[in-house]
Each structure stands twice: as C-alpha cells, then as structure tokens.
Structure 1
Amino acid sequence: MELGGGEDSMDVQGAAAAAEPSFSGHQQTSVKPIWALLEEAAQMKTEGNAFYREKNIRSAIGRYHRALLLLRGLDSDVMTAVKGFGPEVPALTREQEALLRSTQVDCYNNLAACLLQRQSVDYARVRDYSLRVLKWRPGDVKALYRAGVATLEMGDAQTAKQYLTKACREQPNDANVRKHLQRAEEKLNRELQKERAMYRGMFSSSLKSSSGEGINQTNRAGEGV
C-alpha cells in the first residue's frame, strides 16, 4: 500500500536528521537510563516492522525514525562531533553498543525498503540509508541490493554493478538481484557501444579532413607546375 502526503515526507526527513549531531540527545540520555532508551528504540523498531508487514508504510517510517532519534544521543560516532558541549554521555558496554548498532542497522535497512515501496521513490535517500548499513555491516545482502538498485536508477551503472555483483555472490539464486545486475550490465554495454560509435565518428571525420587536405595540397602543387 502506497501512502503519500506531507506527514510521510516529514518522517523520512526526520530519519535523515537522526544521523546528524544534536544536543537534544544529551538531555534524553540524562533523563532515562541507557538500557531504557535502547529497549524503547528496539520496541519502536518492532512496531515499525509490524506496520511494514501490514503495508502501512507511513507509520512504519515514523517508528523507524523515532527509534533512530532515541539512539542518536547514545551513538559515540555522532556525539564525538559535539564533544565538550553539554553533559558527557556514559560509555556503553559492549552489549549495549551491539544492541544500538543492530537496531540502527535494522532501522536504516527497513527505511530503505519502505522508500522503495513508495510511488515516487527518493533513490538518493535509499542509497544513503543502504550505505549507512554497509558502513556497519559490509556484507549485508539487502543493503547491497538496495544500494545497487538506487545507484542504477541514479545513472551510475558501473557502481551499481559492483554492489549487485557482491549481492549476487551472496545470493546467486535471488531473481531480483540477478534481474537488476543484468540491467546494470546491459546499460554499461549500451554506454560502451555508444562510446565506440562516437569514437568511430570522430575517427572517420578526422580521416575525411586529412584526405581533403591532401587533395588540396596536390591541386596547389599541380597549379604551381
């Protein structure tokens, strides 16, 4: 089910903002214990998954966005950028860090899936969210596939082929991966043929020009005799 409108758009923009540094995260962390925030974010993700299964894309996007906002103030990568402003965030344990990253990765992955369900797809955001996933989970097949599809739709068949080839290695029998990999290869082949035709035209024009100059020089030499 495709849901449009400003509310959906605002949720998508908010998800992008969740990756940017902000001081609000310090206030959130000081109010609630770390585990409480992590569990609340995980619950938001679970609710988002349920909405996605029901094809309620707008509500799913909203839940993933809220989960990412909750986690922003705990993310050491984000808060390093604003170190020295506001109270320090306590260091996460290894278990807490793992839960934070897992929830973030799932939310960004699922946001990319949601955006691909919309009637008008923002491929730049799909690629951005997928690349965030690949930063933390380089071999994630779904992120590789979505990054490949988005990059292909944005016109970069060469990079798309790289993503889709990696995805195909992991899931060689996936029909969707193979279909889009074939699309990327066909686009590259068309571009190569076009480039060759252009060079042939340039070479042919150069030969004609050189031949014409030779004839003119011969004629002038004959006139001199």
Structure 2
Amino acid sequence: VWASLEEAARMKTEGNAFYKDKNIRSAIGRYHRALLVLRGLDPDVMVSVKGLGPEMPALSPEQEASLRSTQGDCYNNLAACLLQRPSVDYCRVRDYSLRVLQWRPGDVKALYRAGVATLEMGDAHSAKRYLTRACREQPNDANVRKHLQRVEEKLSQDLQREKAMYRGMFSSSMKSGSEEEINQTHRGGEGVLAEQLNAPNEASN
C-alpha cells in the first residue's frame, strides 16, 4: 500500500514540474496516472467492486490521509491545467473542484475554480456561493474579488432582463385588453346603428 501511495505522490510531483514548465499536456497525464494508481486503493471505489477480485486490506488512518491528500492535490491541479487550455472544459473544471471540496470543504483554490467554472457555465447563483466562501477564507485575494464582482454584474444584468421581460409581458397584456375594449365598443356602436337603420319609418303628420 505504501509503495503505491509513494508512486502516486512521485507522479504528482512530476506533474507539478511539468506544470511549472508550461507543459500542460504532460502534467495532465501525470496527474491522471497518479489518480489511476490511487483508484486501486480508494476504499470508496473498492466497496463498489467488492467480490470481483482479491480484497485489499483496509487502509490505516495515516494511509487514507495520504491517499486523500494526493487525490485532492491531483484534482486541484487538473482543474488548474484545464483552465490553461485554449478551449476550457468548464464542466470538468467544476467537477474536479467539487471532488476536492468533498474532502477539503474550505479549500480556497477549489472554491475559486468551482466559482469561475459555474459562472462560465451560466450559473451565477452557484458561482456566487462558491466565490463568497472563497472570499471569506481569503478576503484579500484579488482574483477571487474580481470574479465575485463579475458574478454581481451578471446577476444584476439578469435581474434587469427579467424586469424588462415582465414589463413587456404586462404592456402586451394591457395593450390587448385595451384593443378588446375598443372592439367591443365598436361592435356595440354598430349594433345601435343597425337597429336605427332597420327601424320602420314613423308616419309623418
């Protein structure tokens, strides 16, 4: 078990070196390989495949802590790598960040990236929740504050659009109601005129 944990940690370190050298593709490859090694040790994964092969011995608290630490780092770093790509898969950035938050609820980097990803995916309300938590953890972080401001602007724009839409619907409803009243009045006038035209002429003296 320790040998596998050390192998995964080594791959993560290699991935970090590639990331620093801007070799994003190789970094992603190393992080995925590290996670693949850890997958065979993860008690959450092994429970789902129990009975399909030889059972792994239960991890000690120290081993499980090492496993979660390396997993969290790899998923965090994968999200960072994806944000460096020309075409960003924001859905995967969000998913990787949320996995980190399962184990580290207050992780500022994961909160920040989850916020950025959900904002780009159009969910400003969730983005505000993540970025507000990140800002609470690191109130002086310029990037967090910048994207939190973007969220507030997006929510304000959405609110203005919503108000304009309702105003348009209300105006349209009022207009159609007025037209109906005019039509009814017009029809009523036609009826009176018709009665007058069809009435028999009274004999004149």
1:202 aligns with 2:166: no
Paired position in structure 2 for 1:121 = 88
Distance 1:135 1:213 in 2: 59
Q: Offset of 1:178 from its aligned partner? A: 0.9
Paired position in structure 1 for 2:20 = 53
Distance 2:17 2:91 in 1: 25
Distance 2:2 2:12 in 1: 15
Paired position in structure 1 for 2:202 = none
Paired position in structure 1 for 2:138 = 171
Q: Of 187, 212, 223, which residue of structure 1 is paired with 2:154?
A: 187
Q: Which moved more, 1:59-68 or 1:143-152?
A: 59-68
Q: Give the TM-score normalised by structure 1.
A: 0.82
Q: Of 119, 138, 146, which residue of structure 1 is paired with 2:105?
A: 138
Distance 2:176 2:79 in 1: 54
Q: Give the TM-score normalised by structure 2.
A: 0.90
Q: Offset of 1:223 from its aligned partner? A: 3.3
Higher relative contact order (CA 8 A, sep 6+): 1
Q: How does 1:75-154 map to 2 (within 5 A)?
A: 75-154=42-121
Distance 1:162 1:198 in 2: 26
Paired position in structure 2 for 1:6 = none
Distance 1:222 1:151 in 2: 60
Distance 1:143 1:49 in 2: 17
Partner of 2:122, secondary structure, is coil
Distance 2:91 2:45 in 1: 21
Distance 1:204 1:188 in 2: 24
Q: Offset of 1:70 from its aligned partner? A: 0.7
Q: Offset of 1:79 from its aligned partner? A: 1.2
Partner of 2:87, secondary structure, is coil
1:68 aligns with 2:39: no
- Stretches of structure 1 lacking an aligned partner (at least 5 in a row): 1-33
